[in-house]
A and B are shown apart, each in its own frame.
Chain A
Amino acid sequence: MENKTPAVAMRDITKTFGNIVANDKVWLDIYRGEILALLGENGSGKTTLMNMLSGIYFPDAGTISVDGKEVVIRSPRDAFALGIGMIHQHFKLVDVFTAAENIVLGLKEGGKLDMKAAAAKIRAICDTYGFDVDPDQKVYDMSVSQKQTVEIVKVLYRGADILILDEPTAVLTPQETDKLFAVLRNMRSDGKAVVIITHKMHEVEDLSDRVAVLRHGQFVGDMLTKQTNAQEMTNMMVGHAVTLNIRRPEPKNPRKRLEVKNLTVRNVDGIVKLEDVSFTANSGEILGVAGISGCGQKELLEAIAGLQPVETGSVTYYEPDGGAEELLGKDPLAIAEKGVVLSFVPEDRLGMGLVGSMDLTDNMMLRSFRRGKGPFVDRKSPKKLAEQVVADLSVNTPGVSTPVRRLSGGNVQKVLVGREIAAAPTVLLTAYAVRGLDIGASYTIYDLINQQKEAGVAVIYVGEDLDVLLELSDRILVLCGGKVSGIVDGRRTSKREVGLMMTKLGGGDANE
Chain B
Amino acid sequence: MNKESRFHISKRKALPWYKAWAIRGAAIVLALIVCALITTLATGLNPLKVYGTMIQGALGTPRKVWTLMQNLAILLCISLAVTPAFRMRFWNIGAEGQVLISALACAACMILLGDKVPNAVLILIMIAASVAAGAIWAVIPAFFKAKFNTNETLFTLMMNYVATQLVAYFVIVWEVPKGAGKIGIINQSTQAGWLPQIGDYKYLLNILVVAVLTVLMYVYLNYTKHGYEIAVVGESERTARYVGIKVEKVIIRTLLLSGAVCGVAGLLLVGGTDHTVTTTIAGGRGFTAVMVSWLAKFNPIGMIFASLLLVFLGRGASEISTVYGLNNSFGDILTGVILFFIIGSEFFINYQLHFRVKAEKGGEANV
A331 at the interface (CB under 8 A from B): yes
A375 touches B243 (CB 8 A): no
Distance between Cα atoms of A18 and B241 in the complex (Å): 35
CB proximity of A168 to chain B, nearest CB, Å: 26
A352 touches B236 (CB 8 A): yes
One digit per residue, 1 when the CB lies within 8 angstroms of any chain B CB and 0 when it does not, for chain A 400-435 equals 000000100000000000000000000000000000
Residue of B nearest to A403 (CB): B14
Distance between Cα atoms of A358 and B245 in the complex (Å): 17
One digit per residue, 1 when the CB lies within 8 angstroms of any chain A CB and 0 when it does not, for chain B 241-262 equals 1111110000000000000000
B225 at the interface (CB under 8 A from A): yes
**One of B224, B354, B360 near A376 (C-beta < 8 A):** B224
Stretch at the interface among A2-10, A219-227, A312-320, A365-373: A365-373
Chain A, interface residues (CB within 8 Å), range: 35 or more
Stretch at the interface among B140-148, B227-235, B288-296: B227-235
B13 at the interface (CB under 8 A from A): yes
A58 at the interface (CB under 8 A from B): yes
Count contacts on B: residues with CB < 8 A to the other chain: 31
B13 touches A17 (CB 8 A): yes
Stretch at the interface among A70-78, A151-159, A182-190, A228-236: A70-78
Tell me the residues in window 304-344 of chain B with beta carbons closer than 8 Å to chain A beta carbons.
Answer: none
A246 at the interface (CB under 8 A from B): no
Residue of A nearest to B2 (CB): A72
Inside 8 A of A31's CB, which chain B residues have their CB?
none
B124 at the interface (CB under 8 A from A): no
A377 touches B224 (CB 8 A): yes
Stretch at the interface among A86-94, A252-260, A343-351, A497-505: A343-351
Distance between Cα atoms of A360 and B241 in the complex (Å): 19
Distance between Cα atoms of A72 and B241 in the complex (Å): 48
CB proximity of B265 to chain A, nearest CB, Å: 24
B239 touches A354 (CB 8 A): yes
Distance between Cα atoms of A355 and B360 in the complex (Å): 43
A358 touches B235 (CB 8 A): yes
Residue of A nearest to B224 (CB): A375
A351 touches B238 (CB 8 A): yes
Inside 8 A of A354's CB, which chain B residues have their CB?
239
**One of A75, A333, A367, A376 near B4 (C-beta < 8 A):** A75
CB proximity of B348 to chain A, nearest CB, Å: 16
B116 at the interface (CB under 8 A from A): no
A72 touches B360 (CB 8 A): yes
Distance between Cα atoms of A352 and B241 in the complex (Å): 8
Inside 8 A of A333's CB, which chain B residues have their CB?
244-246
Q: A72-B360, A307-B242, A331-B244 are in contact. Are A357 and B235 (CB under 8 A)?
A: yes
Residue of B nearest to A352 (CB): B238
B228 touches A362 (CB 8 A): yes
One digit per residue, 1 when the CB lies within 8 angstroms of any chain B CB and 0 when it does not, for chain A 252-282 equals 0000000000000000000000000000000
Residue of A nearest to B242 (CB): A352
One digit per residue, 1 when the CB lies within 8 angstroms of any chain B CB and 0 when it does not, for chain A 200-226 equals 000000000000000000000000000
Distance between Cα atoms of A362 and B223 in the complex (Å): 11
B8 at the interface (CB under 8 A from A): yes
B226 at the interface (CB under 8 A from A): yes
A81 at the interface (CB under 8 A from B): yes
A59 at the interface (CB under 8 A from B): yes
Distance between Cα atoms of A72 and B228 in the complex (Å): 48
A130 at the interface (CB under 8 A from B): no
B364 at the interface (CB under 8 A from A): yes
Residue of B nearest to A344 (CB): B242
A366 touches B232 (CB 8 A): yes
A332 at the interface (CB under 8 A from B): yes
A336 touches B4 (CB 8 A): no
Residue of B nearest to A335 (CB): B244
Inside 8 A of A348's CB, which chain B residues have their CB?
238
**One of A74, A78, A377 near B228 (C-beta < 8 A):** A377
A336 touches B244 (CB 8 A): yes
B367 at the interface (CB under 8 A from A): no
Inside 8 A of A74's CB, which chain B residues have their CB?
1, 4-5, 8
B362 at the interface (CB under 8 A from A): yes
A145 at the interface (CB under 8 A from B): no
Distance between Cα atoms of A18 and B236 in the complex (Å): 28
Inside 8 A of A352's CB, which chain B residues have their CB?
236, 238-239, 242
**One of A72, A81, A307, A346 near B362 (C-beta < 8 A):** A72
Tell me the residues in window 9-43 of chain B with beta carbons closer than 8 Å to chain A beta carbons.
Answer: 10, 12-14
B239 touches A78 (CB 8 A): no
A366 touches B239 (CB 8 A): yes
One digit per residue, 1 when the CB lies within 8 angstroms of any chain A CB and 0 when it does not, for chain B 79-121 equals 0000000000000000000000000000000000000000000
Distance between Cα atoms of A217 and B230 in the complex (Å): 39
Inside 8 A of B226's CB, which chain A residues have their CB?
375
Inside 8 A of A377's CB, which chain B residues have their CB?
223-225, 227-228
B354 touches A58 (CB 8 A): yes
Distance between Cα atoms of A72 and B4 in the complex (Å): 11
Q: A72-B362, A336-B244 are in contact. Are A353 and B224 (CB under 8 A)?
A: no
Distance between Cα atoms of A10 and B364 in the complex (Å): 18
Inside 8 A of B1's CB, which chain A residues have their CB?
72, 74, 78, 81
Residue of B nearest to A356 (CB): B235
Q: A307-B241, A333-B244, A336-B244 are in contact. Are A351 and B224 (CB under 8 A)?
A: no
Residue of A nearest to B13 (CB): A18
CB proximity of B17 to chain A, nearest CB, Å: 14
Q: A17-B13, A351-B236, A355-B231 are in contact. Are A58 and B364 (CB under 8 A)?
A: yes
A65 at the interface (CB under 8 A from B): no
Distance between Cα atoms of A355 and B228 in the complex (Å): 11
Inside 8 A of A334's CB, which chain B residues have their CB?
244
Inside 8 A of A17's CB, which chain B residues have their CB?
13
A376 touches B239 (CB 8 A): no
One digit per residue, 1 when the CB lies within 8 angstroms of any chain A CB and 0 when it does not, for chain B 130-148 equals 0000000000000000000
User: Beyond A72-B360, A74-B4, A376-B224: 14 further Cβ-contacts under 8 Å?
Assistant: A58-B362, A72-B362, A74-B5, A75-B4, A77-B4, A331-B244, A332-B243, A352-B236, A353-B239, A355-B236, A356-B235, A358-B231, A375-B226, A377-B224
Listed in ascending order, the chain A residues whose CB lies under 8 Å from chain B are 17-20, 57-60, 63, 72, 74-75, 77-78, 81, 305, 307, 331-334, 336, 344, 346, 348, 350-358, 362, 365-367, 369-370, 375-377, 406
Q: Which 7 A-B pairs have the closest CB atoms?
A: A333-B244, A18-B13, A332-B244, A355-B235, A352-B238, A366-B243, A375-B224
Could you list 19 examples of A-B contacts with CB < 8 Å? Answer: A18-B12, A58-B364, A72-B362, A74-B1, A74-B8, A75-B4, A307-B242, A333-B245, A344-B242, A352-B236, A353-B239, A353-B242, A355-B232, A356-B236, A358-B232, A362-B228, A362-B231, A375-B226, A377-B227
